Structure 1
Amino acid sequence: MLNWVKFIVAFLLALSLFITVIVLYNANKPFSTVQKNAEDIALKNGNLQTVDRMEIYNGTISMVTVYGKDADGNEKAIFIEEKTEKVLDEVDLKDGIDAKTALETVKSELQMEKILHVVLGLEEGHPVWEVAFKSENGKLNYVYVFFENGEWWKRILNL
């Protein structure tokens, strides 16, 4: 009888582990597909020669920001709409501030407990850095800083 109990417990643990792996794999699949499609578009359209990394930006519209180098070796960011897979815009990274500078701009005025992400996206035709963080009171905050000059665009505080 004790062997049956051990067998059932071991079987249930193995089954739960298997189900967890399958669920996590399937949950990540759409994200991977979107990123792979965006990478292919950026390379095929000739916008980039190499792709370094990608980020998902969920603003007014969902898009993938693809970072890489063009044929001249210039570092660029390409904004590709998630649904239509259309290239919305591209920017030379040397023409604006980097993520660290955007974060420092926000830190200089607001208290942060935990930084959630800093993502480059496109809003109203302008590239902006979205800085998401939790404040000291545990509230969610979004701050948008213009890529070109580091000035504040919009603040959504204490959600």
Structure 2
Amino acid sequence: MKKWLVILSILFIAVIITAAAIYLSAVKPVKQAEEAAVHKAIEATDIAEVTEFSLYNGEETYYVVQGENNKGTKLIAWIPEKKGKIIVKKSSDGLSRDQAIKKVLAEMNSPEIISVKLGMENGIPLWEIHSRTKENLLNYHSIVFETGEWLKKIENF
């Protein structure tokens, strides 16, 4: 009996180590992208302190870096993965995360918000919001960051 416990314990530890190695291997490219994007944002923009990083995969991949300049002004930088112009906007020049969520909740049949993130499509900074209906169907919404206009709506009723 004691022998089986030792064998099972060794197998359990091996499974945990393997799972941890797979997880670390999977997140390594995202961590590398984050490090590169943060470095580029600090180097090429007025962002002095980074507060948030996200990855947006649309027609093109963008790294979105949020932070503050030396005066405390909140800024957002959209950095293309490949070649292209970095776009920087003040957070106050567009809708906040909460305003974008309120717009979806007020105008759509989506009582549950699943995810909200900044992105870029065709040179237009946007909020991408995924939501779920009461019937458990997924909806996809894109709202222009600066104006609050609808860019895309994919709704399932």
Q: Distance in 1 between matches of 2:102 and 2:11?
A: 49
TM-fit CA distance, 1:86 = 4.8
| Aligned structure 1 segments of 4 or more residues deviating by more than 6 angstroms | none
Partner of 2:132: 134
The 5-angstrom pairing of residues 1-159 of structure 1 reads 2-82=1-81, 84=82, 86-158=84-156
Q: Distance in 1 between matches of 2:20 and 2:84?
A: 33
Identical residues among aligned pairs (%): 26
1:48-106 Cα shifts (integer Å, max 9, x gaps): 11111111111111111100112443211101122x26543111111111010001001
Q: Distance in 1 between matches of 2:70 and 2:48?
A: 6
Task: Report the RMSD for the aligned CA atoms in angstroms.
Answer: 1.8
Aligned length: 157
Structure 2 letter corresponding to 1:89: I
Q: Distance in 1 between matches of 2:110 and 2:7?
A: 48
**Which blocks of at least 5 consecutive residues in structure 1 are unaligned?**
none
Q: Distance in 1 between matches of 2:65 and 2:84?
A: 13
Q: Distance in 2 between matches of 1:144 and 1:88?
A: 20
Q: Distance in 2 between matches of 1:85 and 1:31?
A: 18
* Change over 3 Å in CA distance of 1:148–1:46 after alignment to 2: closer
* Change over 3 Å in CA distance of 1:33–1:87 after alignment to 2: farther
2:117 counterpart SS class: strand
2:86 counterpart SS class: strand
Structure 2 letter corresponding to 1:45: A
